[in-house]
Structure 1
Amino acid sequence: MKTTGLIVEYNPLHNGHEYHFLESKRVSGADCTIAVMSGQFLQRGEPAMVGKWARAEMALRMGVDLVLELPVAYSTQPAEWFAYGAVSALQATGVVDSLCFGSESGEINWLQVVAEAMCDEPEAFQKGLQDELKTGIPYPAAYSRAIARHLPGIDPSELAKPNNTLGLHYLIALKRLNSRIVPLTITRQKSGYNQTEITDQAIASATALRHMLFERGALNELEPFVPNGTMTVLHRETAAGRAPIEWEHYTKPLLLQLLNHSPHQLAELHEVTEGLEHRIKHALPLLSLSSEAGRIMEQLIGLLKTKRYTRTKLQRMLLRILLNQTKAQLSPTVLRQGVPYLRVLGFSPAGRQLLKRMKHVSKVPIITNVNAASSDAYPLLQMDVQATSVYALGFESATPHDLFRDYYEPPVQLNQTE
């Protein structure tokens, strides 16, 4: 039974994702699919618009067989660690034959060349990277330019495209893990990763769909762009007050953290670098909390943003402050170990068979139900439990069950006919 792996956020799952899913099965010849999916908070430092169990259900309704959670320790990291964590999870299953990712280029050979050269980050590249960073540009741009300096013929503008960047880091992670998983790529279709305008009748980016929903409150307008299963789940979660979720729902708990932490304490938290703790403290008195002044998170990011610090960098930093996650908890030493367990969010009948196989070949324990003992045993799992509690603060009316849902919620089980 051939199995292909997908690394996803599904925020929300849309027709472009369905195209990628179907093409992944076709080009890989796979019988089954495993999706490693981000939990309650995502790679750009944002809360998911709908929670992880709901998005796992969307994936199962589309046809994915097994959904595993990418721990928040990895899911909100820059590309290198996000990719490393997700690939380590696929590797740990022991049953994944291929990894199929979307890219702007649709070509894997040149990415393989770059990955081979960058796997150990040679000294000449590191020096070039530091030279680029000294110009004050953001890290992603500096990284792309440094590679182009080290490998003549590589177009830094192509490398800097979001899906190409992630694809490169998937390939680097496969090499660093000495994985036998075969990488494949599919060209992203009809909408860019961050594209906010809608230019097609059936395919739009998740960014555009979220913009439509948050700016106009137009849930029904998403219908042409998402599978029926996605609409079913979104209507249910919205009616329950659990969606749509955005950063503004967390401004009060975030402000509490920012006000209660001293600059020294802020500096201990992950992603608070280069004196940003002082920039934060200087920005706080400039915020206006009146409704007429506009969204607090937008004000704060506007005050903190510079040429050096991208919005994504700042969102990741503020998220780590919201979650109170320290540099020590998320050190390179910790992250290099890869995922220490596989948390199951949902499975189909075929996924149940995959789990039976994995029990014999998985390199790490498989967790289907979380309890106090399991969360105490794995610090990264405890961070996920805490992230779910914080995430629930964004609901219209969070219950104790919502706050501690990781302890109560079994994996979503769905027949493909549902």
Structure 2
Amino acid sequence: MAAAGIIAEYNPLHLGHVHLMTEARRLLGPETGIVCVMSGNYVQRGDFAVAGKAARAAAAVRSGADLVLELPVPWALSSAEGFAAGAVEALRATGAVTHLVFGSEGGDAAPLARCAEALCSEAFPPKLREEMKKGDSFPAARQRALEALLPKEDAGALSRPNDTLAVEYCKALRGSGIQPLAVPRRGAAHDSGAIGGGFASASAIRAMLRRGEEEAALGLCAPAMAEAYRAERAAGRAPASLASCERAVLARLRFLEEEDWASLDLGNEGLYRRFFRSSRSAASLAELLEAVKTKRYPLARLRRMVFRAYLGLPPAPPPEGPAYLRVLAANGRGTALLAGMRNTAALPVLTKPAAVRRLGPGAQRLFGLEARADRLYALACPDPAAVPDAWRTGPAIVRGEAG
């Protein structure tokens, strides 16, 4: 069975996400399987997911997906490049995915692919070094460097948030055999905090939840997501919030020595010294980030560094990619895809956590990191005791539903 891949966080799953799945089948055929690679309990901007991965994955399957695979936490809490590389590698490893479908402000994959090729060319690094000397942020320097190699209308993709991530997808897709398929984004812009045309960004919905406007926020989610969120809240598992465990995070950071921070500073630009000094006295994460930030570093990068330190993650994801494909949820068509993957998958497919013990040391280390991260995620939930342990959590199988 041919399948389309989607990379997502579903934090939370909203109507724009459902539209993307619907468009994937409209463009590729109604029998196309939808395989999602989804961040687990942590998201790329450096935060806890508002609801746990099991609930979000099950809601995705009830909203159009057939199979949801977990993007392991080292990639979920990585740069856009690392996030895309890990997720694309997971889709490639299924052996079943022919297209990667993503939302795009431009709605055309061709200029995004041209940007990807230019970024990977030998001509780009010297241009970037030249621009970085001007002291601007990395995103601004990168766009100017790209404009030196491409028409401005192509390079402009890096000024639009969905297209910026899509360019990283296109970079990761090179040589994979998977084709990019851009779908015009509908409604409010990504991370805009706005609502447009009846579609809200996930950022806007999270902001409404933080303000206590729960019913209005859930009305902008996919119905299955709204139902799942209410059930998670009733069980004491949602919403997960950094405020709930801020002192636990700060306590962990105060244990770290300067060399620990240095190992996380991949740019070797002295950022670790600012973190080390500030982490010793900051009384809140807001105070810590305020002391560390400069115009050179995007806030998301600083937040990811905090979370990688808190979780004890390595400074970067393993270059070889994920060590297994962990199933979070599936329906009937998804289980058929899984059956086919017995012959096509390039990585072990994990449906029972205990099965990781039969895999190699790399897989066992990765699952151990994931299990520890899940235990710490529980501290961000209203009732930590209500969050199941990773070693006892299998996939959600949704019966009687197929895309």
**Letter matched to residue 104 of structure 1:** E
What secondary structure, in the 3-state scheme, does the structure 1 residue paired with 2:147 have? helix
Deviation at 1:228, TM superposition (A): 1.5
| Matching residue of 1:291 | none
Q: Please state how far the C-alpha of 1:271 moved relative to its aligned partner.
A: 5.2
- The structural deviation recorded for 1:27 is 1.2
> CA, structure 1 residues 172+154, in 2 after alignment: closer, same or farther (shift >3 Å)?
same
Q: Is this contact kept in 2: 1:247–1:297, CA < 8 A?
A: no
Secondary structure (helix, strand or coil) at the match of 1:287 reads coil
Whether the aligned pair in 2 keeps the contact of 1:266 and 1:272 (CA below 8 Å) is no
Separation in structure 1 between the aligned mates of residue 165 and residue 196 of structure 2, nearest angstrom: 24
Answer yes or no: is the 8 Å Cα contact 1:3–1:34 preserved in 2. yes
Q: Does 1:368 align with 2:351?
A: yes
Distance 1:339 1:282, change over 3 A: closer
Distance 1:10 1:58 in 2: 9
The structural deviation recorded for 1:310 is 1.4
2:22 counterpart of 1:26:
no
The answer as to 2:205 corresponding to 1:219 is no
How far apart are residue 88 of structure 1 and its match? 0.6
Q: What is the rounded CA distance, in whole Å, between the counterparts of 1:281 and 1:356 in structure 2?
A: 49
Asked whether the equivalents of residues 246 and 285 of structure 2 are also in contact (C-alpha less than 8 Å), the reply is yes
Deviations 1:290-349 (A, max 9, x none): xxxxxx22222222211011110111110111111233xx36xx32x1222101101001
Does the 8 A contact of 1:37 with 1:70 survive in 2? yes
After superposition, residues 17-416 of structure 1 pair within 5 angstroms as 17-29=17-29, 30-119=31-120, 121-122=121-122, 124-175=123-174, 178-200=175-197, 202-214=198-210, 216-269=211-264, 273-284=268-279, 287-288=282-283, 296-327=284-315, 330=316, 334-335=318-319, 337-371=320-354, 373=357, 377-378=362-363, 379-399=365-385, 402=387, 405-416=389-400
Change (3 A) 1:142 1:342: same
Q: 1:284 to 1:363 in 2, by over 3 A?
A: closer
Contact map agreement 1:248 1:297 (CA 8 A) in 2: no
Asked if the contact 2:11–2:202 (Cα under 8 Å) also holds between the matched residues in 1, the reply is: yes
TM-score by length of 2: 0.93
Q: Which runs of 5+ in 1 are unaligned?
A: 289-295
Q: Distance in 2 between matches of 1:348 and 1:308?
A: 45
Letter in 2 for 1:144: Q
Match of 1:5, SS state, is strand
Shift of 1:273: 4.5
Provide the C-alpha distance between the structure 1 equivalents of 2:243 and 2:87, rounded to a whole number of angstroms. 28
Change (3 A) 1:153 1:198: closer
Q: Is the 8 A contact 1:47 1:246 kept in 2?
A: yes
Query: How many residues were matched structurally?
Result: 398
Contact 1:60–1:416 (Cα < 8 Å) also in 2: no
The answer as to whether partners of 1:112 and 1:171 remain within 8 angstroms in 2 is yes
Deviations 1:43-86 (A, max 9, x none): 11111111110110110110211000011111111111111111
Instruction: State the Cα deviation string for residues 73-112 of structure 1 (Å, max 9, x = none).
Output: 1111111111111111110000111111111110111112
User: SS in structure 2 opposite 1:184?
Assistant: strand
Q: Deviations over 1:342-381 (max 9, x none)?
A: 0110100111110000011101110101126258551222
Match of 1:159, SS state, is: helix
Larger mean Cα displacement after TM superposition, 4-13 or 39-48: 39-48
Following TM superposition, the consecutive aligned residue runs of length 4 or more in structure 1 with deviations greater than 6 angstroms are none
Letter of the 1:303 counterpart: A
Compute the RMSD of aligned alpha carbons.
2.0
Identical aligned residues as a percent: 36
**CA distance in 1 between partners of 2:358 and 2:193 (Å):** 41
Going from structure 1 to structure 2, the CA distance change for 1:60 and 1:270 (only over 3 Å counts) comes to farther
> In structure 1, how many angstroms separate the alpha carbons of the residues matched to 2:265 and 2:147?
29
Question: C-alpha distance in 2, partners of 1:387/1:223?
Answer: 27
Q: CA separation in 2, counterparts of 1:265 and 1:285?
A: 13
Q: Secondary structure at the match of 1:320?
A: helix
Whole-angstrom CA distance in 1 between matches of 2:126 and 2:71: 32
Normalised to the residue count of structure 1, the TM-score between the two structures is 0.90
Q: What's the offset of the Cα at 1:285?
A: 6.0
Equivalent pair of 2:331/2:401 in contact (CA under 8 Å): no
Letter in 2 for 1:339: P
Describe the SS at the equivalent of 1:97: strand
Distance 1:387 1:149 in 2: 42
Partner Cα distance (1:116, 1:157) in 2: 15
How far has the Cα of 1:416 moved from its partner? 4.9
Unmatched runs of 5 consecutive residues or more in structure 2: none
Hey, what's the Cα distance between the residues in 1 that align with 2:212 and 2:400? 30
Report the 3-state secondary structure (helix = DSSP H, G, I; strand = E; otherwise coil) of the residue aligned with 1:252: helix
CA–CA distance in 1 between the matches of 2:381 and 2:262? Answer: 30
Deviation at 1:287, TM superposition (A): 3.4
